[in-house]
Chain A
Amino acid sequence: KNQVEQSPQSLIILEGKNCTLQCNYTVSPFSNLRWYKQDTGRGPVSLTIMTFSENTKSNGRYTATLDADTKQSSLHITASQLSDSASYICVVSGRGSTLGRLYFGRGTQLTVWP
């Protein structure tokens, strides 16, 4: 069964600290993996998109890594800010028989305290 699991479910950190969110997936065959940030009550906004041949991609203070062999990805946030408080969703897309489907994790709810 194609699944995407994220951990932790929720995380609280102090402003200025770093944190790492995890995503494990079983989607196969795999096309690409995306990280989205979703503020409460709003639509998700794309942070990064990585194909199976990419190991790392950065977007400002956000750095995503991908290990296609172990089917794991992480999102590292550096020097967190209050505005980073949001849900971070890992999304995996398939190809071949699963082309056209996006598989969503349930997200990690990040809270940044001052």
Chain B
Amino acid sequence: KAGVTQTPRYLIKTRGQQVTLSCSPISGHRSVSWYQQTPGQGLQFLFEYFSETQRNKGNFPGRFSGRQFSNSRSEMNVSTLELGDSALYLCASSSTPGQGAGMNTEAFFGQGTRLTVV
């Protein structure tokens, strides 16, 4: 069974540009969550999608947006990039909504996309 796939693995962008990151969950999983990880803040929740609907959203500005397609693949978009957006962006997939929280099921992480804004 293939794991969670994130593309691209590495990305360099300049300030003001926009970027789109992709996440393909484990086959059969309908929940995809996105996280930003920086050395100073650790892992921070961005949003979760389940069956093409956003279920939860963290405390990030509107420049961060996402969507989920009918095949459960998800994309995250960041517009008007800032230097502080440089981070490792991780997605996690789960078979149940809420990242498996209420059902005690696993959330499986991808390898992440390393975004550097210069």
Contacts and interface: CB of A to CB of B under 8 A. Distances in A.
Interface size class of B (residues with CB under 8 A): 20 to 34
Contacts of B110: 43
Nearest to A103: B45
A100 B98 contact: yes
Interface stretch (A11-19, A72-80, A104-112): A104-112
Contacts of B42: 89, 104-107
Nearest to B97: A100
A63 interface: no
Contact of B109 (A45, A93, A95): A45
Interface stretch (B11-19, B69-77, B78-86, B99-107): B99-107
The main secondary structure of chain A at its interface with chain B is strand
B104 A41 contact: no
A86 interface: no
Contact of A101 (B4, B45, B106): B45
A49 B107 CA distance: 10
A102 B112 contact: no
A101 B107 CA distance: 12
Contact of B90 (A32, A44, A107): A44
Interface of A: 31-32, 34, 36, 41-46, 49, 51, 89, 93-95, 99-102, 104-107
Interface of B: 4, 6, 33, 42-45, 48, 55-56, 88, 90, 92, 97-102, 104, 106-112, 114
